[in-house]
Amino acid sequence: MASPPSRFRLARPAIARAVAVAALVSAAPLPSHEPGLPRFFDGHPDLNGVWQAIGTAHWNLEDHAAAPGHPDLGAIGAVPPGQGVVVGGEIPYAAAAREQQEANFKDRMTADPEAKCFLPGVPRATYLPYPFQIIQGDSKIMIVYGFAEANRTIHMDKEDPEPPPIDSWMGRSHGRWDGDTLVVVAEGFNGQAWLDRAGNYASAALRVEERYTPLGRNALQYEATLTDPTVFVRPWTIRMPLYRRLEPNVRVLEFKCVEFAEDLMYGHLRRRPTR
């Protein structure tokens, strides 16, 4: 069964309603060549700007009810309830992998790579609760994230994509256009990143295919299909909207979080251990 534990999951009627709504949304046709859609000089949609996901996917990609966090933090550290973004409702883990995810959830307060200020990986970087910026060129597209100064380059000029030279937190990304949709394939991960704060995870064999489809001037439909035969029994997809930040002079601010993780990671090495 999906984690968090059963006492924290949504009731079955709530899940059924959420799945029904998701089915209606996913069945809605996406606009193609919408009049007035900003265009880059090469005719493709202009995705330049600062974007952000709104929702609870960073807490848990699956349906989840409210859950307690660290007791010293009260409601501030609690997990808010949320509807999942997994198409079909549940991540198709292999049995042993689901057990590992549940173990991750129990240790999430200290084991989550986010708590240690490690790079978030793909696709997690997209739906962290912070804005990110797309900087679009004709041969390269760069995405800059605030958390841990993460960034990635999407190579648009490789007809025969090069294999990743080394495994890394953010992997290597190659892109192409499918009509008005930016399609990005990312792989070459180190297998250490989690997918959310609930302990959902993948291995170094992960391959992510992302799709960024304009829904208008100020919204994108984001989809990511994850394939990892060592963890999941089949490929699966998440789907959520991304919204353009419209504040004047909006910018992505660097969240340099290393100093905030030092005590968690190295407090036991102090002369007088703090942990």
197 contacts 112 by C-beta, under 8 angstroms: yes
pLDDT at residue 7 in the model? 38
Q: Which is more confident, 163 or 213?
A: 213
pLDDT at residue 161 in the model? 80
pLDDT above 70: residue 15 = no
Closest by CA position to 213, among listed 30, 84, 85, 87: 30
pLDDT at residue 30 in the model? 45
Mean pLDDT of 186-208: 98
Q: Which is more confident, 2 or 44?
A: 44
Distance from C-alpha of 5 to C-alpha of 55, rounded to nearest angstrom? 21
Closest by CA position to 147, among listed 53, 8, 217: 53
pLDDT at residue 35 in the model? 64
Under the banding of pLDDT at 50, 70 and 90, the label for residue 182 is: very high
Q: Which is more confident, 262 or 160?
A: 262
Distance from C-alpha of 82 to C-alpha of 20, rounded to nearest angstrom? 15
Mean pLDDT of 79-103: 97
pLDDT digits (tens, 9 = 90+) for 113-164: 999 999 999 999 999 999 999 999 999 999 999 999 999 999 999 877 888 9
User: What residue ranges do the domains of the chain occupy?
Assistant: 6-269
| Distance (Å) of CA 50 to CA 33, 57, 176, 246 | 22, 19, 21, 8
Mean pLDDT of 23-48: 70
pLDDT at residue 128 in the model? 98
pLDDT above 60: residue 18 = no
